[in-house]
Amino acid sequence: MRKKLIAANWKMYKTPGQARDFFRDFLPMVDGHDRDEIVVCPNYLAIDVAIQAAKGTKVAIGAQDLHWENEGAFTGEICTSMLVAVGVTDVIIGHSERRQYFGETDDTVNLKLKSALSAGLTPIVCVGEVLEEREAGLTEDVLRRQCLRAFNKVSAKKASKMVVAYEPVWAIGTGKTATPEMAAEAHEIIRAEAADSFGQPFADQMRILYGGSVKPENAHALMSEKEIDGALVGGASLDPTSFAAIVKY
């Protein structure tokens, strides 16, 4: 049995004060919730407030990105040692918005994945097709290529904590959700690629999250699908009541 992971991706929302208010309201709503793992990924400036607020609870704090070098002249970047030093445990890698707007490639995803794993962080590697690719029947090719390149020269032993998030780009922030069946089909492709790269036992234990317009109204149906091991939630994670409802699906 793979324990589900419900992750919040806050993107470029919330000041530190707003993050503090979120946790004040959210934590009592999920107090004692043991069934799933919960991770919240705020922007870098709100990470410390989030970590202080979530101390002593089961809610973990993640980052939305990282740089793969250990330190250096990389203006504006953050590396793993900085994240680990403040208590971050998880990190999103290769989100489609980073790919689309900030030049993230399969190769930089691979570098970031290796760096996160070496630092003991749990990487949440995002993959997913755009609408034109789906319509052209290329979904499988795209998912296989993104995974294959992300996993390049990563060993099964090192990758044991890795989580993959399937996020069809056409479903992100659009209100359009993949049906549970569509998501399950994509997850099977990703799991097959993981089996090719790391072996079947590894693939069987690897968690694959679904992301793209997950809301309290559709969370139950999605999470009931046995191929779906959790959710990566953007918009609906900004409100404590709505994110708590998703966690409890």
CA separation for the pair 161, 93 (Å, rounded) = 14
* Residues within the interface to ligand PGA (CB under 6 A): 9, 167, 172-173, 211-214, 232-236
Nearer to ligand PGA, 190 or 197 (CB): 190
Of the candidates 67, 95, 104, 129, the residue annotated as catalytic is 95
Nearer to ligand PGA, 123 or 211 (CB): 211
**Cα-Cα end-to-end distance for the chain:** 18
187 included as an active-site residue = no
CA separation for the pair 183, 164 (Å, rounded) = 13
Least distance to ligand PGA, CB of residue 100, Å: 11
Least distance to ligand PGA, CB of residue 242, Å: 11
Given the structure tokens 């919960």, which residue do they identify? 38
For 238, which DSSP code? S
Least distance to ligand PGA, CB of residue 171, Å: 6
Task: Look at residues 15, 92, 23 and name the one whose alpha carbon lies nearest to residue 52.
Answer: 23
Q: At what angle do helices 16-30 and 44-54 cross, to 10 degrees?
A: 40
CA separation for the pair 142, 133 (Å, rounded) = 8
167 included as an active-site residue = yes
Least distance to ligand PGA, CB of residue 175, Å: 8
Of the candidates 37, 104, 167, 193, the residue annotated as catalytic is 167
Nearer to ligand PGA, 192 or 221 (CB): 221
CA separation for the pair 3, 245 (Å, rounded) = 18
Nearer to ligand PGA, 39 or 232 (CB): 232
Given the structure tokens 């993640």, which residue do they identify? 62
Task: Look at residues 232, 101, 98 and name the one whose alpha carbon lies nearest to residue 177.
Answer: 232
Catalytic residues: 95, 167
